Amino acid sequence: MANMKEIAKMARVSLGTVSHVLNNSAVVREPVRLRVLEAVQAAGYQPSQLARGLRRDKTNMIGMIIPDITNPFFPAVVRGAEDVAFSNGYRLILCNTDNDHSKELVHLNELRTYLPAGLIVIPSNFSDLTTQAESYRRAGTGVVCIDRLPKNWSGDSVTADNEEGAYNATRCLLQFGHTKLATITGPLHLTNAKERLDGFKRAMREARLHLAPEYVQETTFDKQGGYSKTLILLRLIPRPTAIFAGNDMIALGALLAIREAGLRCPEDISLIGFDDLDLAETTNPSLSSVSQSGYQLGTTAARILLDRLEGDKGPAKHLVLETTLKIRHSVAAPPGAPRRNRASKGRRSTKPGLAEERA
């Protein structure tokens, strides 16, 4: 690969001048500028990002730390971030933590040695991101936290409006006439799981319905968890006629358990999930879900990061993205209820988009 020295020689100028042309860091007379540009063109020269990063004390890489790219919700987030990053000249280094905070720590330490321009992080379970991010910020590296927040997070963040989404989903179930509701939540130390439970409870409270503790089951955000906790719920007396699942994977497990128990969804039990994964449309019955745009989560986070890199020194941003309720075939009136109010296929609720900003 050609280097700057060769370009300098070709264009009969000094190293410094080449650099200035490439970075617009000083005015260079037009004829000289052109000569340099020509040489660059002719040699197919591209500056070494390593040397540049070393000298500038900052590269054009963005570290993206997520639990697991294999989890169907995350690819869209990554893609959103990559699109914005890429079109602004930044590249993504992808790291999976498997929700293991020690693996997260390894990544955080390791990434430092690349002098990344910034970090976009979906924190792991029991993440220690807050202290780590502090040291990054001291080094001038932006850190944006998305989807869920670690303990004491005070930096930039982008999340979905989990509380409101869950509230709307629950209200929908109530409007269908259900009174025996249950919920299967994700791990409640995760802020998103907690907020969804809060939304569920708010709707229940407003409807003046009592919520016995055994109707709230906590588990991991996966199919297996949804399956086993649903079996528990189905043994309760009275049996719940509607379940709000903390995410679609849990809902999927619930669907399995319901079917296996010889019950039908939605005739016997209605079900709403969260995330609106692609698979929600294709299950049997199709799964109702609180839709949040992972892609938008990613683009927004990257946008904030880039703004910071361009010098935005404002106070920490906490963006909250709106959700949309998608009612499909997994919701109906409870058994024995007068059957007005059939499930209307398709969207409802408000349009998606940037919502309120709590600063």
Partner DNA sequence: GAGATATTTTGAAAGGTTTCAAACGAGTTC
Partner DNA sequence: GAACTCGTTTGAAACCTTTCAAAATATCTC
Q: Residues interacting with a copy of itself, by CB under 8 A?
A: 1, 46-51, 53-54, 59, 61, 68-70, 72, 74-76, 78-79, 82-83, 86, 91-96, 109-110, 112-115, 139, 252, 255, 278-279, 282-285
Cβ partners under 8 Å of residue 309, min gap 6: 117, 118, 142
**Residue 72 binding: pick among a copy of itself, DNA, none (C-beta 5-8 Å cut-off by kind):** a copy of itself
Applying CB under 7 A, what is the total number of residues that bind DNA? 31
In sequence order, which ranges of the chain are alpha helices (DSSP H)?
Answer: 4-11, 15-23, 30-43, 49-56, 74-87, 101-112, 129-138, 162-175, 191-206, 223-234, 248-260, 294-309
If you write DSSP's letter for every residue of 178-191 in order, what string do you get?
--SEEEEE--TTSH
**Residue 154 binding: pick among DNA, a copy of itself, none (C-beta 5-8 Å cut-off by kind):** none
Pick the piece of the chain touching DNA (CB under 7 A) from 5-13, 185-193, 277-285, 315-323: 5-13
**Residue 263 binding: pick among a copy of itself, DNA, none (C-beta 5-8 Å cut-off by kind):** none
Q: Is 311 in the site for DNA (CB under 7 A)?
A: no
Q: Is 9 in the site for DNA (CB under 7 A)?
A: no
CB of 82 to a copy of itself, least distance (A): 6
d(Cα 255, Cα 79) in Å, to the nearest integer? 29
Pick the piece of the chain touching DNA (CB under 7 A) from 17-25, 120-128, 135-143, 249-257: 17-25
CB of 255 to a copy of itself, least distance (A): 8
d(Cα 356, Cα 359) in Å, to the nearest integer? 9
Total residues found in the chain within this entry: 359
Confirm if 59 and 115 have CB atoms less than 8 A apart.
Answer: yes
Q: How far is CA 152 from the centre of its chain?
A: 19
Secondary-structure breakdown of the chain: helix, strand, coil percentages, each rounded to the nearest 5: 45, 15, 40
When the beta carbons of 200 and 274 are compared against a copy of itself, the nearer one is 274
**Residue 68 binding: pick among a copy of itself, DNA, none (C-beta 5-8 Å cut-off by kind):** a copy of itself
When the beta carbons of 75 and 352 are compared against a copy of itself, the nearer one is 75
**Angle, helices 191-206/162-175, rounded to nearest 10 degrees:** 40
Q: Given phi > 0 = left and psi -120 to 50 = alpha, else beta, which region is 66?
A: beta
Pick the piece of the chain touching DNA (CB under 7 A) from 22-30, 85-93, 117-125, 340-348: 22-30
In the set 42, 54, 106, 316, which binds DNA (CB under 7 A)?
Answer: 54
When the beta carbons of 111 and 129 are compared against a copy of itself, the nearer one is 111
CB of 120 to DNA, least distance (A): 24
Q: How far is CA 139 from the centre of its chain?
A: 25
When the beta carbons of 82 and 164 are compared against a copy of itself, the nearer one is 82
> What are the distances in angstroms from CA 234 to CA 19, 168, 177, 258, 301?
69, 24, 19, 8, 40
Tokens 């590296």 found at? 141
Confirm if 345 and 327 have CB atoms less than 8 A apart.
Answer: yes
Q: Is 310 in the site for DNA (CB under 7 A)?
A: no
CB of 208 to a copy of itself, least distance (A): 36
In the set 22, 69, 231, 236, which binds DNA (CB under 7 A)?
Answer: 22
Q: Is 140 in the site for DNA (CB under 7 A)?
A: no
d(Cα 89, Cα 153) in Å, to the nearest integer? 28
Q: Is 3 in the site for DNA (CB under 7 A)?
A: yes
CB of 170 to DNA, least distance (A): 54
The sign of the CA dihedral 197, 301, 95, 278 is positive
Q: By the criterion CB under 7 A, which residues form the site for DNA?
A: 1, 3-5, 12-20, 22-23, 25-29, 32-33, 45, 47-48, 51-52, 54-57
